[in-house]
Amino acid sequence: MALLLSALMLFAAFALLLAQFLRQRQRQRLVAQRLQGQLGADNRLGNWLQQLGASRLGQRSLNLDGETRLLLDRIGWRRSRQRALFAACQVGAPLLALGLGVIAQETLHRASQTPWLVLPLCAMGAGYLLPKRLLAWSAAHRQQQVAREVSTFIPLLRILFESGLAVEQALRVLSQESRQLLPVLSEELRVILLRVDSGLALAPELEKAAQLLSVDEFSDTCVILQQLLSQGGGAMKSLLALKQLLDDRRLTRMQERISKMSGKMSIVMMVFLFPALLIVLAGPGFTALAKALGS
């Protein structure tokens, strides 16, 4: 009996030590993930997706073409965890679509005469193309948002330059104080200034950011800022001229949209209003003519 109690006590002590060891390892892993800027260990789905994206298959799906990495950079997904999440979606979406296609084929196989592999293969192809199309749409939407924010970004730059700040100081102020007014540009400026703090020059980083975002308005602004960095002055008139040019472009786009909208409204009016107007105006004459012919 005493041997049995001692064995149970030893087993309980071993279990407590093992639990303490596992808890300590979990805390260490959580601290390491937080130091690396990752999420906590309680997000099991995110960790599983990250592991799937970090696998050879996920990395190979990212390395198939350079456009995917370029689009990820344009939407601001530059961290390894974010790229791994997209790679997991790129790998998991075709598999999920294939499973749904197989289920749909099994349920509709009796009613349809199509071959068995047509629907699953089409679903797998759609699942493979869907993440890339969503990524391209997000990149285009972010580029449009950057183009809209540049119209506000230039007057703020002029105000800061007139107050006596240098280019780097003005960009630091905008990156910290204009996060609500310029959410996308403030984030891009923060990334540029982090690279500058690490020892890189500001002018090449502005050029790289302009090439990466590929927005004409932001590229022109970066060219003027590079001119201001190299010459030390004379860029205020250039900023004012660029602001007027951007306003003229916006006015031209609005006029084009209004003209297109008027054409579309005329088509809608012809389709829906013209038949009703014809019935109201020509209806009594047709009824009277029908009665006369009938009598």
The answer to whether residue 103 sits within a structural domain is: no
The average pLDDT across 236-241 equals 80
Query: Domain for residue 205, yes or no?
Result: yes
Among 34-38, 81-85, 253-257, name the most confident range: 253-257
Number of helices (H) and strands (E) in the chain: give both, helices first.
12, 0
What average pLDDT does the segment 115-134 reach? 83
| Rounded Cα gap, residues 130 and 137, in angstroms | 11
Please choose, from the candidates 258, 177, 173, 248, the residue with its C-alpha nearest in 3D space to the C-alpha of residue 217: 248
CA distance 107 to 260: 45
- Is residue 76 one of the residues assigned to a domain? no
Residue 156 lies in a domain: yes
**How far, CA to CA in Å, does 15 sit from each of 8, 25, 29, 84, 135?**
10, 15, 21, 36, 48
Other beta carbons less than 10 A from residue 135's beta carbon: 20
Range of the domain at 166: 146-249
Tokens (6 digits) for 238: 């250039």
DSSP H or E segment with residue 140: helix 118-162
> To the nearest whole number, what is the mean pLDDT of the chain?
79
Q: What is the pLDDT of residue 63?
A: 65
Total count of domains within the chain: 1
pLDDT of residue 143: 92
Residue 57 lies in a domain: no
Residue 90 lies in a domain: no
pLDDT in tens, 1-40: 554 555 556 656 666 766 676 677 667 666 666 655 544 4
In a domain, 75, yes or no: no
Cα 20 off chain centre by? 42
Contacts of residue 34, Cβ cutoff 8 Å, sequence gap at least 6: 40
* Contact of 200 with 129, CB cutoff 8 Å: no
* Residues whose CB falls within 8 Å of the CB of residue 15, separated by 6 or more in sequence, listed in order: none
169 falls within a domain? yes
6 vs 226, which has greater pLDDT? 226
Prediction pTM value? 0.68
SS3 67: helix
pLDDT > 70? residue 43: no
